[in-house]
Amino acid sequence: MGISATDISQRIVEAVLAQKLAPGARLGEQQLAMLFDCSRTIVREALTRLAARGIVTVSARRGWYLISPSQDEAREAFEARRVIELGLLRDGAPLGKPALVRLKKHLQQEKAALRGDDVGARSFLLGDFHVCLAECLGNGLLADTLRDYTARTTLIAMLYQSSHEAAASCQEHVAIVAALEKGDRARAEALMAEHLANVQAALRLPALTDPLDQLRSALAPLPQPDSDSNDPPAAYLGALL
DSSP the chain: ----HHHHHHHHHHHHHTT-S-TT-B--HHHHHHHHTS-HHHHHHHHHHHHHTTSEEEETTTEEEE----HHHHHHHHHHHHHHHHHHHHHSPPP-HHHHHHHHHHHHHHHHHHHSS-HHHHHHHHHHHHHHHHHHTT-HHHHHHHHHHHHHHHHHHHHTT----HHHHHHHHHHHHHHHHTT-HHHHHHHHHHHHHHHHHTS-PPPP--TTHHHHHHTSPPPPPPTT--SPPPP-HHHH-
CATH architecture of 71-201: Up-down Bundle (1.20)
Q: Is residue 60 pLDDT above 90, yes or no? A: no
**How many Cα atoms occupy the beta-carbon half-sphere of 91 within 13 Å?**
7
Q: How far is CA 146 from CA 79, 80, 124, 157, 178, in A?
A: 12, 9, 14, 16, 22
Q: Is the predicted pLDDT of residue 234 greater than 80, yes or no?
A: no
Q: pLDDT over 70 for what percent of the chain?
A: 88
pLDDT tens-digit map of 192-212? 999 999 999 999 876 655 566
CA distance 234 to 162: 44
Above 80 in pLDDT, residue 236? Answer: no
For residue 105, name the pLDDT band (cuts at 50, 70, 90): very high
| Average confidence (pLDDT) over 60-87 | 94
Greatest alpha-carbon span in the chain: 89
The pLDDT of residue 231 is above 70: no
**Topology of domain 5-66, per CATH?**
Arc Repressor Mutant, subunit A (1.10.10)
User: What is the band of 233 on the pLDDT scale with cuts at 50, 70, 90?
Assistant: low
Percentage of the residues of the chain whose pLDDT score is greater than 90: 79
Lowest mean pLDDT among 108-112, 135-139, 172-176, 236-240: 236-240
Could you tell me the pTM of the whole model? Answer: 0.81
Torsion of CA 31, 35, 39, 43, to 10 degrees: -70
User: Residue ranges per domain, the chain?
Assistant: 5-66, 71-201
Nearest to 4 by CA among 55, 44, 31: 44
> Is residue 75 over pLDDT 70?
yes
What span, in angstroms and rounded, lies between the C-alpha atoms of 4 and 41?
10
Query: What is residue 213's predicted lDDT score, i.e. its pLDDT?
Result: 63
- pLDDT (0 to 100) of residue 62: 86
pLDDT for the residue 54: 94
Report the alpha-carbon distance of residue 10 to residue 36 in Å, rounded.
13
